[in-house]
Amino acid sequence: MSHQASTLAVLIFLAMVGLTLGISVYLGRKAKSSAGYFAAHGQIPWLVNGVAFAGDYLSAASFLGICGMIAFYGYDGFLYSIGYLAGWVVALFVVADPMKRLGTFTFADALNARFNSRGIKLAAGVSTLAVSIFYLIPQMVGAGALVRPLLGLPHWMGVVIVGTVVILIVVTAGMVSTTWVQFIKGALLVVFSTVLTVMILNRGFEASPELPPAQTVVTQADGATLINGLPKGIGADDGRIDPVGTISKLPGGLQRTGPLGPLKFFSTLQQSEIVLWKKQQTESSDGSTTVAYAPQPTPGSEILQPGASPTFAGIRSNKFGDKLNFLSLMLALFCGTASLPHILIRYYTVKDQAAARKSTIVGIACIGFFYVLTLYLGLGAMTSGALDPTDSNMAAPLLARSISELLFAVISAIAFTTVLGTVSGLILASAGAVTHDLLESLATVRFTDHQRVRIAKMSSVVVGVVAIVLGILFKELNVSYLVGWAFSVAASANLPALVMLLFWKGTTRQGIIAAVIVGMVSSLAWILLSGDTFASVYGLPKENAPAPFSQPGIVTIPLGFATLVVVSLITQQRRDQVYAKRLSE
């Protein structure tokens, strides 16, 4: 769909960027030491930290990706919401206390607390960097995807704008400014999503029994695009995709429902018939590609249960192997949150364990509430009549446009700050890993505090530039795949080491190093050899992929645990033999 740039959206966006940069520069004067730069001196109030957790965690994938997936396929997007939230239970009950107790700046600190080993620091530093960069790519791609329709700028400019603003935020005041940016973003996101949900419920549903015509996008061999048979453009006679998203039948033959309660919303949809759009791509011999979008009236009862989308279609298959992919993803989401480095470093910004607990509880409340809203937002977008069948990421902003232009501008600007908040957390986590874990382990001299902050700022710039370049290179990649994968890598590499260190006395230094490396390498390799990557990255047939299903978690997470136990047992024995030998001498 061709979107026109909204002046109001540009203005509100600029105001928000100005506000966040202003706060960063103001706070920048306070963060001179490394304790200030990496951990905000441990002085962030728990309430602020809790909302910042939400700002850190609710990335573009949550806001744009989940809403879009629900708007296109129904319940399936909500499965991500449930998995993403459930991961917080692991974070609070298992990881929060020890992280705060054992570490100072990075995840590697906590892992290394008992051993003081250079190997652990290096391995954990590399895995932090790998997970953060994996997570950064979809955020940057998302930024580019947003800027195109909203501000009328090309993809690469969106990536560069977001990258530059984030580098400025992180370099000026490190964790202090990052926290406040995330706090503002988290609060805005939850408040305005609530406003939007109330408006959806107030508007209710309307039936439009006439089935809209199918639409086509033809990309010719010379690169020209025809939409519905006309050249692409925004003029009156040019071809453009018509907005979609209608209900063909309401229960009892009603024409409109009027305002609905939060439960009535679902029970009405359950008995309605909704027009979904099926995409079909064909390539013809003259080198042109035709993508056809055909309307498909679907019973609401089918939309409101799992398994309707291609991602989770395995649920409805009778083969056990197809179901494994779903189980594997749900496991990775459950285990992944508590292993994400940019989330874990937030435990160092509060003063003690009690504050760490309280801020996690506030985080769970905000994030959980938001995820409840995603179901309303997504289904609201599905039936808003404003949906773009070619771009699921735009569902939430377009839903807002169907209500009012002002709301659209605000929601779009919030979507930008969503990217800003998460990216700044990721860049800070990466800079911490580079400075504190990698360089300090490799360097022969000890850095002074001042040097350390300078190195961290330089690494932030480098990571930021790398993120910009990757965001431009991978612009074709599907955003939600990558986020799921980042969770799988984080869970496979970091969780076994962290959990076993806490609960098994027999864990050895070598066991931890081996578990981190094996978990990271095996999950990355699995992803690179999976059918989804074959199809969407290399453009090869899905069937040629050696990995039996796309999500690695169900194999690689247990593999990480097994590696740790086996290596620890072997090295324990060796240690005992050395002791025995010494005793007998």
Partner 1 sequence: MTSRNARLGLVLFFIYLAFYAGFVLLAAFSPETMARTPWGGVNLAIWYGFALIAAALALALVYGALCRPDDDQHPPASTDPNPK
Which residues of this chain interact with partner 1, rule CB under 8 A? 33-35, 39, 42, 75, 78-79, 81-82, 85-86, 88-90, 92-94, 97-98, 100-102, 104, 263, 266-267, 270-271, 301, 304-307, 315-316, 323, 326-327, 330, 334, 348, 352-354, 357-358, 360-361, 364-365, 368, 371-372, 375, 448-449, 452, 502-503
Closer residue to partner 1, CB minimum distance, 183 or 370 = 370
What are the backbone angles phi and psi of residue 58, rounded to the nearest 5°?
Answer: -80, 85
Closer residue to partner 1, CB minimum distance, 97 or 206 = 97
Q: Percentages helix, strand, coil for the chain, rounded to the nearest 5?
A: 70, 5, 25
CA-based torsion, 503, 509, 511, 512: positive or negative: positive
Q: What angle do CA 454, 456, 462 make, to 5 degrees?
A: 105
Closer residue to partner 1, CB minimum distance, 101 or 575 = 101
Helix, strand, or coil (residue 352): coil
Alpha carbon distance 497, 513 (integer Å): 8
Work out how close the CB of 375 gets to partner 1 at its nearest, in angstroms, rounded to a whole number. Answer: 7
Cβ atoms of residues 274 and 297 within 8 Å: yes
Helix, strand, or coil (residue 295): strand
Query: How many other CB atoms sit within 10 Å of the CB of residue 21?
Result: 16
Closer residue to partner 1, CB minimum distance, 316 or 542 = 316
Closer residue to partner 1, CB minimum distance, 68 or 103 = 103
Closer residue to partner 1, CB minimum distance, 313 or 461 = 313
- For 333, residues 6+ apart whose C-beta sits below 8 A from its C-beta are 80, 83, 84, 86, 87, 484, 487
- For 30, residues 6+ apart whose C-beta sits below 8 A from its C-beta are 36, 173, 176
Work out how close the CB of 138 gets to partner 1 at its nearest, in angstroms, rounded to a whole number. Answer: 24
Work out how close the CB of 33 gets to partner 1 at its nearest, in angstroms, rounded to a whole number. Answer: 7
CA 249 vs CA 281, 308, 379, 424, 513: distances in Å: 28, 20, 15, 46, 59
- Among residues 149, 140, 49, the alpha carbon closest in space to that of 357 is found at 49
Alpha carbon distance 43, 360 (integer Å): 16
Closer residue to partner 1, CB minimum distance, 241 or 350 = 350
Alpha carbon distance 97, 82 (integer Å): 24
Closer residue to partner 1, CB minimum distance, 220 or 267 = 267
Work out how close the CB of 304 gets to partner 1 at its nearest, in angstroms, rounded to a whole number. Answer: 6
Closer residue to partner 1, CB minimum distance, 16 or 200 = 200
Work out how close the CB of 581 gets to partner 1 at its nearest, in angstroms, rounded to a whole number. Answer: 31
- For 367, residues 6+ apart whose C-beta sits below 8 A from its C-beta are 53, 54, 57, 58, 84, 85, 88
Work out how close the CB of 482 gets to partner 1 at its nearest, in angstroms, rounded to a whole number. Answer: 22
**If DSSP states are collapsed to H, E and C, what string results for 32-60?**
CCHHHHHHHHHCCCHHHHHHHHHHHHCCH
Q: What angle do CA 179, 492, 81 make, to 5 degrees?
A: 55
Closer residue to partner 1, CB minimum distance, 9 or 303 = 303
Residue 434's Cα: distance from chain center in Å? 22
Closer residue to partner 1, CB minimum distance, 156 or 266 = 266
- For 535, residues 6+ apart whose C-beta sits below 8 A from its C-beta are 541, 542
First to last CA, the chain: 81
Work out how close the CB of 290 gets to partner 1 at its nearest, in angstroms, rounded to a whole number. Answer: 34
Cβ atoms of residues 363 and 63 within 8 Å: no
Tokens for 309?
């989308």
Work out how close the CB of 527 gets to partner 1 at its nearest, in angstroms, rounded to a whole number. Answer: 21
Work out how close the CB of 372 gets to partner 1 at its nearest, in angstroms, rounded to a whole number. Answer: 6
Closer residue to partner 1, CB minimum distance, 81 or 430 = 81
Closer residue to partner 1, CB minimum distance, 154 or 261 = 261
Work out how close the CB of 240 gets to partner 1 at its nearest, in angstroms, rounded to a whole number. Answer: 35
What are the backbone angles phi and psi of residue 291, rounded to the nearest 5°?
Answer: -110, 120
Work out how close the CB of 435 gets to partner 1 at its nearest, in angstroms, rounded to a whole number. Answer: 13
Work out how close the CB of 95 gets to partner 1 at its nearest, in angstroms, rounded to a whole number. Answer: 9
Work out how close the CB of 92 gets to partner 1 at its nearest, in angstroms, rounded to a whole number. Answer: 6
